[in-house]
Structure 1
Amino acid sequence: MEEVQVAVDGLERLGLTEYEARCFVALTRLPHGTAKEIGKVADIPRSRVYETMDRLRERGLVELQEGEPRTFQSVSINTAVRVLRKQYESYFETVEESLRQMEPVFKENQQAVWAINDHEQVTERILDLVADATDEILLIVFAETLLDEELLDALRSADDRGVAVHVGTDAEAVRDTFADAEIDARVFTSELIEWFDAGDATPRIGRLLMTDRGPVLMSALHDEDLPGVPNETAAWSDGIDHGLATFAESVLTYELRENAAEVGDSAVSD
């Protein structure tokens, strides 16, 4: 059955071995079962069922009734999902803790410009930079398609923790979005933004981001169509000592300073 294979594949992705997944799925289709019955339904050797059941019991997914022969039953689906979710989340926590402990070792004082060739990865990097911001965010957006709900949520969270959010745009749709977004963002435009937006060359600028007068990201939109997502690439830097990053930081800081007066007048909310 297709549903059986889908369930088995999903359980394997969650960390179960093939035999564990097949035995557990077999048990969910039975009220209870002996090793012989489970092996028959799961299509695995009976000799492997007992050791597989032991591992599933250790995971909290199978219950045992002693007897001759021994009988097994699966826990409820709700319990199984809760157990697997907890185990899966613990893997993430372990990996995150390990990676964070290692990161300073090989990234200390590392400053360079990095290329990103995929829209989703560009967005993930922007979300990371916004999440790390402690003082100020300057985001210039040239297309409404580059301002999704996930990015708005990240800016809303930054605003909630006291980070100043400045948004430069010449797109009326972007201004309208921020007017309804419940974010205390200062929205402005400038001659430079209008000049960039008026160009018809390809690729064209998509998003510019600077956080805390340090990390910067510059993205480009390409005309080639991608299914359902913008065709966006980017370059970013975590420091301003690199020439390109220094130039971008200088331009964005100038934009922020020169439009400070207009920002107050154009604020979505004060």
Structure 2
Amino acid sequence: MEISDKAKKSMESLGLTNYEIRVYTALLSTGATTAAEISKRSGVPYSKIYDVLNSLYVRGWTYSDNLRPQNFFPKSPSTAVEAMMVEMENNIRNNRNIIINELMPIYEKTGLKEKPDIWVVSGLYNIAAKVTEIIQSTKEELLIAIPKIPDTVIKSIQPYLRELFEKGVRIIILVSEETSAEIVKAMSRVAEIRLKNSMFGGGVIGDSKQVLILLGEGKNDNNENNNYDIIAIWAEHIGLASFAKDYFKYLWQDGKRIEKYNG
């Protein structure tokens, strides 16, 4: 029985040898037969056939009866693959425990700590540029919480939101109730929208890994009038993004629903 190269490579990726694949596929074509017949059909030398059959049995791909001569049977591919998955998960779990238990104490003695890169971004338009960068790199889900900021800034990101929408990316936006009706209407064409008052800051989360968080205002030392400029932090860190996403969901629950506008 011939199978496609794609199927053969998939079986090899699960750890099956060439002999094991040939024996199993031979069994699939016959349903049940003796070791001698399997050797003949698969081309695996008879001197090797029992070792191969035993290996397939241990891995959950075959079983046999107790008759003489002994007959061997294939298990269904779905059952066999499930058995392999259980075996692989157990191996990964055991190896994980061995590695962590032995190597973590060594790592901890170094005093090193994993530190994600966190960058401070200041200035409304610098932040808008970073937001655009996150939007353009998002492939699956984009979450945005927009406080009261100039409509021109929001309008600047709308073309990029449209591009994501057309690619099938899910977009969820929480905006201040002070945002103009025109902006809300435009964004509702491409995103799920809710309105929320009293948002302390805002942020953007791309694919649950990139996050930009608006912190509020910081002193602008280059401004002679001592005005304050908006600042944010950006990081590509799953843990921080997960924390921010949980907070976003909390705010979203209390937001005022807006019907999607398709016009």
TM-score (norm 1): 0.47
Structure of greater Rg: 2
TM-score (norm 2): 0.48
